[in-house]
Amino acid sequence: MSPLAWTSVFLSLTTTLRANSVGESALTYQPQPYTINVDPNVIEEIRLKVSKYQPTPDTNAPPWFDGPPASTISSIAKYWAEEYNWTTIQTAINANFSHFYTTVSPTSPHYNASVDLHFIHERSPREDATPILLLHGWPSTNLEWRNIIPGLANPPNASDPAFHVVAPSIPGYGFSPALNGSRVNVTRQSYAAIFDALMQQLGYPQYILYSTDLGFGIALSLVVDHQPHIINHISDFYLARVTPSDQARFDANQTSPEETAYIQSSNAFFGPHSGYSHMHSTFPLTLAYALNDSPVGFLAWMYHIDQTVSDRPTSHEEIVTKALLLFLPGVYNNVRLYKEIFAPSTAWVPDVRFTVPTSILQFGGDMYYPDMANWTYRTANVTYFARHDKGAHFPAVVEPELVLGHIRTIFAE
């Protein structure tokens, strides 16, 4: 059997196994209300595996020198096995948001098969509301938006703009099943076609985009392939590429102090920090054999990256929920997105000038903070730019009021 055939077998097995565990898929072309209801036996099987976790002994290396401290991972594993209660969390997620399930059928040269999606759709009661599509990344799901959804759909101040919020989980994340056909040629353009088809199905011909992380990669394809549909692209993770000529000036000591800081930060981000990303985007299946088999091993892998780009610790409950929501659909199905987003070229930001008005929010507190304003003007039609020295990689989780404040300012009458 060829390696590609193995990929499909593994994928369809995973899809079949998980389909029973994440609730009933409504195979329909109209959105149906959806209640998250994970099979308790699946949760218990995972908990049993967690309870058998074999701690890895720490070395004498300083904390985080080789990875997250073993004591932290053991403490999270103990919490997961003994205290974590998925039922309570599931009840809150169901109660707090309006969940839907649908099938979209994009008619794009980049993707034309049917795709099942889980999404939160919080329609504003306000008649003047504008649709907004929120695109998360990895390690995350549509719950990344939990703290800003209420304030977008129902702003407390009637003079602030209101939004019809659409927050899908990317296929293979949370309760959106993995793409079920061959994924050989899936790219970020495929996901752009899928999410535009969702917005069109919901009756939102034009909409605002808010993107982060891998969702930013999808957004860049949306603003090119579906440009007339996009009112504004807001991103809290706008990457500006260091070109070979920037690098050459840097190597020759010809860059300004600001440029030097930016290039050093970018090189650190795409250098050692991105080891995980290189693995995800080259041999995700090889990696997934281990990660898919060990809930704690996967949590530790994910936790390392999560904490590196956070400016504050995450609670045990939050990190376990995040890990579980990527473990349930099968880890392979979400880490593979790196390969898809980076294809066909490994350039995050292609050499294109994006004409869609672009609002860039830069949040610091992690490793990636130097002022990037001058860099973003190179590729984007920047109509709004703001920076904060906190919030890091998950500002919608940790600084929801700052994010909401900017969105309100951008769309103030």
Ligand X SMILES: *[C@@H]1O[C@H](CO)[C@@H](O)[C@H](O)[C@H]1NC(C)=O
Q: In the bound complex, what is the minimum distance in angstroms from residue 135's beta carbon to ligand X? A: 19
**Residues 145 and 397 sit within 8 Å (Cβ to Cβ):** no
Residue nearest to ligand X as judged by C-beta position: 258
- Residue 16 Cβ, how far from ligand X at the closest point, in Å? 9
Interface with ligand X by CB under 6 A: which residues? Answer: 27, 85, 87-88, 91-93, 96, 103, 112, 114, 116, 146, 157, 159, 180-182, 184-185, 252-253, 258, 355, 357, 371, 374, 381, 383
The answer to whether residues 179 and 103 touch, using CB atoms and an 8 Å cutoff, is no
Backbone angles phi, psi at 148, to 5 degrees: -110, -15
E runs forming strands in 364-405? 380-388
Which residues fall within 8 angstroms of residue 281, CB to CB, at 6 or more apart?
338, 339, 341, 342, 346
Active site positions, annotated:
213, 338, 393
Do 199 and 168 form a contact (C-beta atoms < 8 A)?
A: no
Give the residue with the Cβ less far from ligand X, 35 or 383.
383
Min dist. Cβ of residue 262 to ligand X (A): 7
42/300 with CB nearer ligand X: 42
Q: Is 213:136 a contact under the CB 8 Å cutoff?
A: yes
Rounded least distance, CB 297 to ligand X, Å: 24
3-state DSSP assignment of residue 290: helix
What gap in Å lies between CA 370 and CA 183, rounded to an integer?
37
At its nearest, how many Å lie between ligand X and the CB of residue 258?
Answer: 3
Of 45 and 293, which CB lies nearer to ligand X in the complex structure? 45
Of 20 and 85, the one with the shorter C-beta distance to ligand X is 85
CB nearer to ligand X: give 56 or 374. Answer: 374
Nearest Cα neighbor of 277 from 238, 314, 309, 230 is 309
Answer left, alpha or beta for residue 256, where phi above 0 means left and psi between -120 and 50 means alpha: beta
Cβ(159)–Cβ(112) under 8 Å? no
| β-sheet bridge partners, residue 297 | none
